[in-house]
Chain A
Amino acid sequence: MSKKIKSLKELEELRKEGLKSLYPDKPRIMIGMATCGLASGANEVFEALNTKVRENRIDIKIVPTGCLGYCQIEPLVDVFKPGWPRIIYQKMNGEKVIKLLESLTRESIWKDSILARLDRDELLIFGKTKKYDIQGELSGVIDDIPLLQEIPFYCKQFRIASRNCGFIDPTNVIEYVARGGYYSLFKVLSQYEPDQVIEEIIKSGLRGRGGGGFPTGKKWLYCRQAKGNVKYVICNADEGDPGAYMDRSILEGDPHSILEGMIIGAYAIGAREGYIYVRNEYPLAVKHISIAIKQAEEYGLLGEDILGSGFSFSIRVNRGGGAFVCGESTALMASLEGRVGEPRAKHIHTVESGLWEKPTNLNNVETWANVPVIIARGADWYSKIGTEGSKGTKIFSLVGKINNTGLAEVPMGITLREIIFDIGGGIPGGKKFKAVQTGGPSGGCIPENFLDLPVDFDALTKVGSMMGSGGMIVMDEDTCMVDVAKYFLTFLKDESCGKCTSCREGIKQMLEILNRITQGEGKEEDIELLEELSEVVKSTSLCALGGTAPNPVLTTIRYFRDEYEAHIKDKKCPARVCRDLITYTIDQEKCTGCTRCARECPQEAIVGERRKPHRILQEKCVKCGICYETCKFDAIKVE
């Protein structure tokens, strides 16, 4: 019998089924099992729980879910029981989850390792709140558990694109529908003409979330207006900026939100075929989006005659081959055509001539995920969030020297300071903030005096950086800014396609200079030469990879020139990072002669008698830092 949905009534039926799954009449335990969760040991938690539940034939549901965003304290376990608030546990392991299970079977709330509780669910699509039915007797027990919204990491967040991540089983479409999924699609197909959809997106002010920030509605309009009957819609899931993983989080945690967005977009533009181009290094994301496509097709939400509307649209998933440059739209399309990822100059835009020279609309994952919400709540509602030029929210990945590493979705216009210190919890180890790198390899490093800048598409470009895809890498006093510039150029040197002279030779020469500087062979003219090269590489490169490659160099010179000069003139690395400019020595007062470091040293460069202060043979030392790590007496000095 066909499961295909052809009416609102049938969609409602599916939603009711989904609600029963989300809120069963028995306990439901969700474990955050996106890649970040798995990397921190969520599988161990899952296995331990599963085994115990099967052994003792306990009647509870165990559900893998996506990323709630607070990666620092994963594995996260989420417990729902009828009559209870939802309780989220942090830093769980196999042992702890068994204890939790034991409490649960005894009808008591396990009080260890709690992060927060939730007493309601926000159903963003419907604009409604679903309150949990909480037993009266519990109020004394749970009052001391903070609500999720009260926790510093979450209190400033507003999750739109990541609305379902951590709340649903991403491999079960009915749970997506239960929280309002595919209602927007239904609304569009039954009430809107394609032009009306485009109007709504234009009015909302939605701009591309992949880094370019081009007004999405306008892009759709140009593509719709382009000549030709065959058009394509693409989702760019090639997320390449190191440190940014929000797209992966949505692909793994809420793949249907992307599909729904793409189907609405395809309808508006007049496309019948779509592609999702996923980075090769994201196998779980590929798996989940493929399952989602199958399920959506089963229910008639994708494929032929969607929802009985007569509109047909199909999506194919393609995996990247391992090339950062394929995040660039023309290189991505070349890759889809079976060619190498060489970009072409975009004098003729891809909306006019893209994939197979047909009009193509390419948008980023996060952009697509916003679409169903805009349709459901309206452009007016959406445009009230954010700033004048940057409407809506943005997911930022907070990584590096930060206490609360993770993904945070906030309204645009929030300041860097709020993100780093309020949400991020500041710098670990009591160290001092030095800079935040935004915009990936195309962006720049922003120093302390700009922390009160609002984060949106335009504000950061004024100081030489950009918001980009939302990656925020926090750096502290122990980070060498010259090393950071070298790092980004090294990255780009390996990722450049090599076609044009400006990028290929320019990056090579800039890197050569930076290598010399960090090795203590910098020359006085180097900074000027770097600036000259930067200008030409920026203005003459064929594509944006080369065109933005100099940004990290330019911003670090602009704001941390003193560090460059220290390397060049004094042959010193103030942050004590650049290997050739630092020395490891043993503090003769602190050293107890325990010989630990000598034994661990891979170069056998440490000598000394037992219980007498040791010393490091400089000619053998390779500055690997193992002795520094090993010493329990803080006797290793790095200068």
Chain B
Amino acid sequence: MSPQVLETVDRVIDKYHKDKSMLIPILQDIQREYNYLPREALLRVKDKLNVPLPQIYAVATFYKAFSLKPRGKHTIYVCMGTACHVRGSPKILEEIQRKLDIKPGETTPDLNFTLETVNCLGACALGPLVVVDGNYFARVTPVQVEKILNKYKER
């Protein structure tokens, strides 16, 4: 296990006072740090928190916030809330899928984009909504998809 990972994980666990019930916030901090949950990090959590590994694995795979595989540099969130759906978000999602050749939950091979659907971001006046890196794109139409993607392809 790399010492850097061990150190980071230990720091996070100490921040939460080695409290087993704080497993989810602990994993959230680790996820934020590495953009995914590395296996060795989870093994370290098992050792230091004294939580059985199956429980950690269950939590890591149950919640959408966690990923066991590295996430892309830019995460594209397509809101699939009812209001956005009624305004045509499925077409937006399809267009993005076509352009990037990945399905929701997947990451492009060059690790640039991860596509995720999200259930209602609460900005329903602006639907269909697409959020990339915290930037909101409102009233998106399928035609605009390419432009939005190009913004992040160059970076």
Contacts and interface: CB of A to CB of B under 8 A. Distances in A.
A390 B37 CA distance: 46
B83 A338 contact: no
B98 interface: yes
Given A281-B121, A339-B55, A399-B125, A242 B63 contact: no
B142 A338 contact: no
Contact of A323 (B62, B88, B120, B125): B62
B53 interface: no
Given A280-B65, A281-B121, A321-B65, A339 B59 contact: yes
Given A40-B138, A319-B25, A630-B143, A491 B126 contact: no
B68 interface: no
B103 to A, nearest CB: 13
Contacts of A338: 20-24, 51, 59
A86 to B, nearest CB: 23
A520 to B, nearest CB: 17
A241 B155 CA distance: 35
Nearest to B141: A629
B124 interface: yes
Given A624-B95, A625-B91, A71 B62 contact: no
B18 interface: no
A626 B66 contact: no
Contact of A240 (B62, B119, B127): B119
Interface string B72-111: 0000000011110111100100110011000000000000
A322 B24 contact: no
Nearest to A249: B122
Nearest to B86: A400
Interface residues of B, number: 46
A488 B22 CA distance: 32
Contacts of A239: 122
A397 interface: yes
B64 A323 contact: yes
Contacts of A248: 122
A622 B55 CA distance: 43
A71 B81 contact: no
A552 B129 CA distance: 24
A353 interface: no
A319 B31 CA distance: 13
A541 interface: no
A38 B87 CA distance: 20
Interface string A225-259: 00000000000000111111100110000000000
Contacts of B86: 400-401, 473, 475, 479, 484
Nearest to B61: A340
A471 interface: yes
Interface in A475-532: 475, 479, 484, 487-488, 491, 495, 497
A406 B122 CA distance: 10
A624 B124 contact: no
B35 interface: no
A548 interface: no
A341 B63 contact: yes
A72 B129 CA distance: 14
A297 interface: no
Q: Which of A281, A337, A491 has the most CB of B within 10 A?
A: A281
A473 B87 CA distance: 11
Contacts of A249: 122
A602 interface: yes
A409 interface: no
A334 B88 CA distance: 36
21 contacts: A36-B123, A39-B126, A39-B129, A40-B136, A71-B125, A74-B125, A242-B82, A242-B119, A243-B82, A249-B122, A324-B119, A399-B83, A399-B127, A400-B83, A405-B83, A473-B82, A497-B62, A602-B95, A622-B94, A624-B94, A629-B142
Q: Shortest 8 CB-CB distances between A and B: which pairs?
A: A321-B63, A245-B122, A322-B64, A338-B23, A242-B81, A399-B124, A399-B83, A405-B125
Interface of A: 35-36, 38-40, 71-72, 74, 239-245, 248-249, 280-282, 318-324, 335-341, 397, 399-401, 405-406, 437, 440, 471, 473, 475, 479, 484, 487-488, 491, 495, 497, 600, 602, 622, 624-626, 629-630
Given A39-B129, A321-B64, 5 more contacts: A36-B125, A39-B123, A243-B83, A339-B59, A625-B91
